[in-house]
Amino acid sequence: MSDHNPDVLIVGGGPAGMMAGLLFARAGLEVTVFEKHADFLRDFRGDTVHPSTMEILDQLGVLGRFLERPHSKVTNARITIAGETLTVGELTDLDTPAPFIAMMPQWEFLDFLKTEASAFPSFQLEMVSEVIRFDEHEGRISGVTLSDGRSIIADKLVIAADGRGSLVRRSAMLPVTEFGAPMDVFWFAVPKIDKGGDVVRGIVNAGSMMVMIDRNDYWQCAFIIPKGGAAAVKAEGIAALRERIEAVAPDLGSLDNVLTDMDQFHLLSVILDRLDCWHRPGLLAIGDAAHAMSPVGGIGINLAIQDAVAAANILAGPLKNLPDVDHLLKDVEKRRLWPTRIVQAGQKAVQDRLISVFLESDAAIVKPPLPLRLFNRYPLLRRIPGRIVGLGIRRERVTSPVG
């Protein structure tokens, strides 16, 4: 790194921050990413890398190296409801370099991005570096202050990519609108007793819902509970929770010796919201910092990656030649706002019209809903949810400069 201030400071070493760091460094800009933790290891962070993200990796020429990392593949989605198991989504027919969802621990994905970004001498990652304040000079965000007392100036831009608990939210620097969510999720793991088959399985019973993701030798499970119900579930104890899980997913067999402690369950408090404006002079928010997504579809990581690509496409070239790019920040938001709105509207519809209804009703489900029956009956229809989940809305292509 040279002695002058970095061109771009990125707050947060998650998927959006690391991809943005890689792309801006690839363009020849000096970039510093600040990550508050000592490593990337987190339990049950989003582990889904969708075909749209692997398209980006292919455009960067690194997909082969990515797929050398440990991962499993998900190619279809099934749901068991009213005693019937229906196939409701297929990815294998997508015209894309990797027509499957790669299930890879997020720490592995982030380490991969770090390795690729570190090949560029203008990239720097600072771990154990918590940003506690955005600094302002003459009405413009000019840099950051860290918990160790250091103040770092950004020569041109600060990017907030620090997730749904972003400093821009906690400090009310940018207003946010919440859309609500009827559920929270307990994540946990269960060893597999069958082959599974590269699949995501949803199971719906009266008053209970669960999702199971094939992770080769175990199922990564999401037990869905009503919003704010975690304390009540914990108060009932592990035996009661285990009984509920066995009832909704009897194929898992007896879990007496598998789920023995509430510490095995990791609570995800589901949030669906969006910043009213993603930027102010000197500052741009991307990824979950700009829009917290529901886990419906598992697409949050991939939207964050698309944000980073769009930001680099629009800003990297001008950042090399202009004193600031404040006038272009609105273009990044404009580019990414429409797909974000569409996806969040779809997630809210699923939450309100399906998940909420199933969670609140104790009545037996007599027949699967008609749309699910149609997806199961006609294979061509399964490509529709497969395309939406796998490739998203308005997927980005890397056009940012090199060098």
In tens, the pLDDT along 131-179 reads 999 999 999 999 999 999 999 999 999 999 999 999 999 998 999 999 9
pLDDT at 366 over 90: no
Q: Are residues 17 and 114 in the same domain?
A: yes
> Is 230 within 8 Å of 86 (Cβ atoms)?
no
pLDDT at 276 over 90: yes
Q: Are residues 280 and 262 in the same domain?
A: no
pLDDT at 357 over 70: yes
Q: Are residues 63 and 172 in the same domain?
A: yes
Torsion of CA 112, 167, 34, 40, to 10 degrees: -40
Kindly state whether residue 219 falls inside one of the protein's structural domains: yes
What average pLDDT score do residues 199-213 get?
86
pLDDT at 308: 98
pLDDT at 1 over 50: no
User: In 3-state terms, the chain is what percent helix, strand and coil (to 5)?
Assistant: 35, 25, 40
Q: Are residues 293 and 249 in the same domain?
A: no
User: How would residue 44 be classed by pLDDT, with cut points 50, 70 and 90?
Assistant: low
**Structural domains of the chain, count:** 2
Sheet strand arrangement including 151-153:
131-137, 140-146, 151-153
Q: How far apart are the first and last CA of the chain?
A: 15
Give residue-wise pLDDT tens across range 112-133.
999 999 999 999 999 999 999 9
> Is 27 within 8 Å of 312 (Cβ atoms)?
yes
Q: Are residues 262 and 288 in the same domain?
A: no
Domain final residue, candidates 320, 344, 359: 359
Q: Which amino acid is at 179?
A: F
Give residue-wise pLDDT tens across range 372-395.
899 999 999 999 989 989 998 889
pLDDT at 304: 95
What average pLDDT score do residues 228-254 get?
92
CA 146 to chain centre: 26
pLDDT at 216: 78
pLDDT at 36 over 70: yes
**Rounded Cα–Cα distance for residues 184 and 197 (Å):** 27
More confident residue, 62 or 361: 62
> Is 210 within 8 Å of 203 (Cβ atoms)?
yes
Q: What percent of the chain has pLDDT over 70?
A: 97
Q: Residues 166-189, buried b or exposed e (16+ Cβ, 10 A)? A: bbbbeeebbebeebebbbbbbbbb
Tell me, what CATH number does 55's domain have?
3.50.50.60
pLDDT at 135: 96
Domain final residue, candidates 245, 268, 291: 268
Kindly state whether residue 135 falls inside one of the protein's structural domains: yes
Q: Are residues 187 and 134 in the same domain?
A: no
pLDDT at 3 over 70: no
pLDDT at 197: 63
Q: Are residues 108 and 16 in the same domain?
A: yes
pLDDT at 312 over 90: yes
pLDDT at 43 over 70: no
pLDDT at 13 over 70: yes
Kindly state whether residue 399 falls inside one of the protein's structural domains: no
**Rounded Cα–Cα distance for residues 195 and 218 (Å):** 10
DSSP for 25-86, please give it: HHTT--EEEE-SSSSS--TT---EE-HHHHHHHHHTT-HHHHHTSS-EEE-EEEEEETTEEE
Q: Which of 52-61, 195-204, 315-324 has the lowest mean pLDDT?
A: 195-204
| H-state helical runs in 144-271 | 167-170, 230-236, 238-248
What average pLDDT score do residues 210-239 get?
91
**Rounded Cα–Cα distance for residues 202 and 210 (Å):** 6
Q: Are residues 215 and 322 in the same domain?
A: no
**Rounded Cα–Cα distance for residues 344 and 97 (Å):** 26
What average pLDDT score do residues 242-268 get?
92
pLDDT at 56 over 90: yes
Kindly state whether residue 289 falls inside one of the protein's structural domains: yes
pLDDT at 40: 81
Kindly state whether residue 395 falls inside one of the protein's structural domains: no
**Rounded Cα–Cα distance for residues 350 and 347 (Å):** 5
What average pLDDT score do residues 80-99 get?
91
Q: In 10 A of CB 126, how many CB atoms?
A: 15
Query: In which domain, by residue range, is 49 found?
Result: 8-72+102-178+272-359
Q: Are residues 209 and 282 in the same domain?
A: no
**Rounded Cα–Cα distance for residues 323 and 329 (Å):** 14
Domain final residue, candidates 244, 268, 292: 268
Kindly state whether residue 83 falls inside one of the protein's structural domains: no
Q: Are residues 241 and 354 in the same domain?
A: no
Q: Are residues 30 and 164 in the same domain?
A: yes
More confident residue, 218 or 333: 333
Pairing of strands 8-11, 157-160: parallel
pLDDT at 2: 41
Q: How far is CA 114 from CA 25, 103, 161, in A?
A: 11, 18, 15
User: How would residue 18 be classed by pLDDT, with cut points 50, 70 and 90?
Assistant: very high
Highest mean pLDDT among 23-32, 76-85, 359-368: 23-32
Kindly state whether residue 165 falls inside one of the protein's structural domains: yes
Kindly state whether residue 210 falls inside one of the protein's structural domains: yes
Q: Which two tokens stand for residue 164?
A: 């749904």
Q: Are residues 24 and 146 in the same domain?
A: yes
User: How would residue 195 be classed by pLDDT, with cut points 50, 70 and 90?
Assistant: low
